[in-house]
Amino acid sequence: MSSAKLQNVAIFGATGNIGQHIFRALANPQLPSYKPNITVFLRPGTTQSKKASFPSSVRILEADPSDRAQLAQALRGIDVVISVLSGPGIDAQRDLLEAAVEAGVKRFYPSEWGFHNVYRKPGDEWGHIHPLWDQKARFADWLVRHPAVESGRITYTIIGNGDFYDQEWEYIWCAWAQDPARVGPQYKMYILGDANAKVDWSSLDDVANFAVATLARPEDSCNRTLNFPSDTVSQVRIAQMLEEYSGKPVERVHVPMEEVHRVIEDPSRAPKEVAESSKIPVQFWYTVKGCQGMGIGYRPAEFNHHEAWPEVKRTSIEEYFKRKFDRS
């Protein structure tokens, strides 16, 4: 399969937080040898202001990802479907995949863009997967065993990454990404469990560039799960670097694992400022951060694939801080 065969790319979820970065990387690919033709699929009724956020040269189609018949028609001529959907959009990917197979699409990128952990508290005989992770895991289990994948009619690439460290809209999740002018006299970081535990972090743009690079090398990304961390550092180190580069002190709020387990069981115990900081349910935040604090928030080196794609630059958190605080 040559790269020319993955030339026509359809993206679903391009209006979302992560999808905007994937779209921009597709529209401005780092590799001069690969320039895809992009079709952005939006939900029917998408506002004019969301549509206007895309360059006028981009092909935009409106379709409901769960309307299989309409999609199968609209996807004719498309080589790759990239999904950056979330919420109910994850389950809608089943119809999207069936439509893609019917339309002759060659490659499917499901909405993963993360890292699943099995959460266990002391004494548990069984592990638990948070429903937000399980929803994606169930889709991936179905996708990789789909008859059309097994027969080679369609292939898949699943992109995994670390915790996105530059989600500037998440003022607790990414406390360090906040504008220094707005945080007041000091930053405040909630650190759950072991503050020295190694954690995988990813930059949104690095992962977006990695995804595009995997399209440019379709043979190497065929039927694979490829993980791309930008950096692996502890939260202790992040707090130190934040103080060094921002010039502001960082208040560290250490939450012991016993309390993490209690909040996961009863999310109403979470501090109000944490619970209200995000549209993401606070129980999920405690599960992600709790797994990091248990030391399972990074992948061993052999699970990662950045070394096989040296053409994609990785941005360490230190480089991000240097740029953010103008210390380069």
For residue 12, the minimal CB distance to ligand NAP (Å) is 7
For residue 78, the minimal CB distance to ligand NAP (Å) is 17
For residue 72, the minimal CB distance to ligand NAP (Å) is 16
Is 111 a binding residue for ligand NAP by CB under 6 A? The answer is yes
Is 15 a binding residue for ligand NAP by CB under 6 A? The answer is yes
Is 88 a binding residue for ligand NAP by CB under 6 A? The answer is yes
Considering the complex, state which of residue 50 and residue 59 has its C-beta at the smaller distance from ligand NAP: 50
Considering the complex, state which of residue 187 and residue 228 has its C-beta at the smaller distance from ligand NAP: 228
* Dihedral Cα 99, 71, 36, 145, nearest 10 deg: -20
Is 218 a binding residue for ligand NAP by CB under 6 A? The answer is no
- Identify the residue among 164, 190, 309, 321 touching ligand NAP (CB under 6 A): 164
Is 155 a binding residue for ligand NAP by CB under 6 A? The answer is no
Is 229 a binding residue for ligand NAP by CB under 6 A? The answer is no
Considering the complex, state which of residue 19 and residue 36 has its C-beta at the smaller distance from ligand NAP: 19
- Identify the residue among 36, 89, 218, 297 touching ligand NAP (CB under 6 A): 89
By CB under 6 A, name the binding residues for ligand NAP.
Answer: 13, 15-19, 43, 46, 50, 65, 84-89, 92, 111, 113-114, 161, 163-164
